[in-house]
Amino acid sequence: MPDPHPPRWEHDTETQLTSRQRLDRTARHLLPSVFTALVIIFFSAPVNIPGSAELLPAIVINTVFFWSVWRPSGMPSLAVFLLGLFMDLVGFTPLGVSAFILLLVHGIGSYARFGLMRMNFLVVWCLFGLVGAAAAALQWALACLFRLHLLDPAPAFFEALLCIGVYPLLSATFSWFLHILDEKDTP
Amino acid sequence: MVPVSIQVRQALSKLVLPVLLLMSVGIIIAGQADRPLADKARMRVADVLAPLWSLLSRTQTDSERLVHGLKEARNLAEENHRLSAENANLRRWYEVAVSLARENDTLKTELHWVPEPTPAFVTGRVVADSGGIYARAVLLVAGTSSGVQTGNIALAANGLAGRVTEVGAHAARILLINDIASRLPVELESSHAAAIMAGDNSPLPRLLYYSQDTRPIEGERVVTSDQAGAFPSGIPIGNVHYLHPGQPVVQPFARLDRLTMLRVFDFGQSEIEPPEAPGHVPLTRPHRALTLPFKTLLGPGQEG
């Protein structure tokens, strides 16, 4: 067994500290994705929450949009893609549709983030409303296309409304969360 | 890691989103082209997630039960009050019942009453709705090995269901009262008038041969009569209902289309043999013919 000399020992502690920091940072980056995955698992479970089928995409679209705008490092494209695929596998949408829609939302959010960050909350909400409605409409259109049958648009409407309605709540929660993370980051 | 310049890295990071979009489109197309593969992937994910889901749903049922328990606890006092009032009332009725039973016992002793035998019964599950030669008959998992005999009486939860017509070692066929071959002597409870209840394969068996001066009344209870010796008297069957004027039918208490369990009673009716009466010339054989359930199916000369 080799003797641990003092300089090497110090060096070890230093790398340990940095690896811990790295772990902390990774966890911080993974947090939105893990939260979304947990939401998907929770809402796809056979719990009878009214409107859970429409609430799940609404929450996921909200989360992806929020993090794409305010902290893109917490929601990279690959994570969005995997989350969408996971949602498709767990739910009953055609495989890849949610991934496609979420990637579009993510793209719009990260493309327009510098413009959006300077705007008033209400304006952002309105713009997000447009994005959410477009996402719901796209989902409905794709579902119609794959079934080759005109489906009832009422659930898509409901989903768009939920998407818009949930935004302030989730936005406030995530903002508070971001605040805490930033506070932790500074010292 | 391959060292790349900042420009190349930025270009690559810009490429990620379009590539992923293309990949998702590819997955959509592949999923549409090869549905079994997509379904297999879905099932694999569901398999992995199933324990989590069951945990979630169990938590939900537990919490619902908790909430329900709390709600119950809130009106516990009220419920308790109501129950104690009801209990006092029932206790009064219990006293009345005990005294009446005692009185009944004394009266029976005074009259040297011959007690009726308590019928033995077995309960079986209805397994098949097939009828053999009958249109409305069920098969019961209880046979001679459990003491079921031909001619026994099958009761559903709240009324007569039918009679045992054939019996094997582990199964018995029960002819329901609404089969076209079923004709039972019945009694109208309020007038004590006799009638015949004949099935016609419809859910409502008809009432026939009632006397014209005591017609069945709408809503009157119909019970079995012991006229032919096949049934003990007083087993509830159903209520009288008029489909059309002059066409009374019986609405059976037993749900004959959804039978799941039947109790088969052996009232030991066939063991009661009338004593020899000197001078009495029986027209048919004394009791065999009476216990035969379906005279109508057999020709007059074929009995016994």
C-alpha separations of A185 from A66, A176, B28 in Å:
20, 14, 40
CA neighbor of A74 nearest in space, from A41, A119, A106, A100: A106
The whole-angstrom separation of Cα B63 and Cα A49 is 13
* B25 at A interface, C-beta within 8 A: yes
Structure tokens at B214: 């005591």
Min Cα separation B56/chain A (Å): 7
B37-43 average pLDDT score: 86
Give the closest-approach CA distance of A176 to chain B in angstroms. Answer: 27
By the 8 A CB rule, do A77 and B17 touch? yes
Share of chain B above pLDDT 70, in %: 85
- Cβ of B56 under 8 Å from any chain A Cβ? yes
Whether the predicted pLDDT of B84 surpasses 90? yes
Question: How far apart are alpha carbons B19 and B4 in whole angstroms?
Answer: 20
Average pLDDT, chain B: 83
Chain A residues whose C-beta sits inside 8 Å of any chain B C-beta: 41-42, 44-48, 76-78, 80-81, 84-86, 89-90, 94-97, 99-100, 103-104, 106-107, 110, 142, 146
- pLDDT digits over B144-176, tens only? 888 888 888 999 988 899 999 888 888 888 999
Optimal mutation site among A56, A81, A95, interface B, most CBs of chain B within 10 A:
A95
For the segment A73-93, the average pLDDT, to the nearest whole number, is 87
pLDDT band at B297 (very low <50, low <70, confident <90, very high): very low
* Residue of chain B with shortest Cα separation from A47: B57
Q: How far is CA B289 from the centre of its chain?
A: 31
Contacts of B45 in chain A (CB under 8 A): 86, 89-90
What φ, ψ does residue A60 adopt, rounded to 5°?
-65, -45
In B221-235, which positions are buried (b, 16+ CB within 10 angstroms) versus exposed (e)? bbbbbbebbbbbeeb
Residue of A nearest to B44 (CA): A89
Q: Measuring CA to CA, which residue among B178, B183, B154, B184 is closest to residue B166?
A: B154
pLDDT category of residue B283 using cuts at 50, 70 and 90: low
CB contact under 8 A, A85 and B24: yes
Q: Which of B20, B23, B47, B49 to substitute to test the interface with A, most A CBs within 10 Å?
A: B20
Among the partner residues B16, B21, B26, nearest to A78 by beta-carbon distance: B16
CA quadruple B295, B117, B189, B202: dihedral positive or negative? negative
Burial class (CB in 10 A: 0-12, 13-18, 19+), B283: exposed
Nearest-CA distance A41 → chain B (Å): 8
Nearest Cα to Cα of residue A135 among A110, A159, A167, A168: A159
B21: closest chain A residue by CA: A100
- Partners of residue B42 in chain A, C-beta under 8 Å: 89-90, 95
Q: What is the pLDDT of residue A15?
A: 56
Q: Tell me what pLDDT residue A51 has.
A: 77
pLDDT at site B248:
92
First vs last Cα of chain B: how many Å apart?
A: 101
At B205-247, the pLDDT tens digits run 999 888 888 888 899 999 998 887 778 888 899 999 998 888 8
**What pLDDT score does A12 carry?**
52
Contacts of B121 (CB under 8 A, 6+ apart): B263, B264, B265, B266
Determine the residue type at B242. Y
Mean pLDDT of all residues in A177-181: 84
Q: What are phi and psi of A68, to 5 degrees?
A: -65, -35
Q: Quick count: other Cβ atoms within 10 Å of Cβ A153?
A: 14
Question: Residues 6 or more apart from A64 whose CB is under 8 A from it?
Answer: A36, A75, A80, A83, A102, A105, A106, A109
Query: What pLDDT, on the 0 to 100 scale, is given for residue A186?
Result: 60
Closest chain A residue to B37 measured between Cα atoms? A95
In Å, how far are A85, A108, B251 from A82, measured between CA atoms?
A: 5, 18, 63
Nearest Cα to Cα of residue B272 among B255, B291, B259: B291
Looking at the predicted structure, is the pLDDT value of residue A107 above 60? yes
Count of CB contacts below 8 A, A vs B?
Answer: 76
Mean pLDDT of B188-203: 90
Contact B28 A85 (CB under 8 A): no
Q: Compare B28 and B271 and report the one with higher pLDDT.
A: B28
- Closest-CA distance of chain B to residue A96, Å: 5
Q: How close B128 gets to chain A, by Cα (Å)?
A: 34
Nearest CA among A60, A61, A68, A67 for reference residue A41: A60
Task: Tell me how far apart the alpha carbons of residues B211 and B194 are, in angstroms, rounded to a whole number.
Answer: 8
Instruction: Over range B181-201, report the average pLDDT.
Output: 90
What ipTM describes this predicted complex?
0.77
* Domains of chain B and any CATH numbers: 124-269 (2.40.10.350)
B12 touches chain A (CB under 8 A): no
Share of chain B above pLDDT 90, in %: 25
- The continuous run of DSSP H or E covering A125 comes out as helix A121-147
Nearest-neighbour CA in chain B from A74: distance (Å): 15
CB contact under 8 A, B60 and A48: yes
CB of B30 within 8 Å of a chain A CB? The answer is: yes
Of A44, A77, A97, the CB nearest to B28: A97
pLDDT of residue B298: 45
pLDDT of residue A161: 92
User: A90-99, B71-80, B295-304: lowest mean pLDDT where?
Assistant: B295-304
Asked whether the predicted pLDDT for residue B251 surpasses 90, the reply is: yes
DSSP string across chain B? -----HHHHHHHHHHHHHHHHHHHHHHHHHHHH-HHHHHHHHHHHHHHHHHHHHHHHHHHHHHHHHHHHHHHHHTHHHHHHHHHHHHHHHHHHHHHHHHHHHHHHHHHHHHTPPPPPPPEEEEEEEEE---TT-SSEEEES--GGGT--TT-EEE-SSSEEEEEEEE-SS-EEEEETTSTT-EEEEEETTT--EEEEE--SSSSPEEES--TTSPPPTT-EEEE--SSSSS-TT-EEEEEEEEETTEEEEEESS-TTS--EEEEEE--GGG--PPP-TT---SS-TTHHHH-S-GGGS-TT---
**Which residue in chain A has the smallest CA separation from B63?**
A47
More confident residue, B33 or B274: B33
Contacts with A86 from chain B: Cβ below 8 Å = 45
The confidence score (pLDDT) of residue B271 equals 56
**B16 or B89, greater pLDDT:** B89
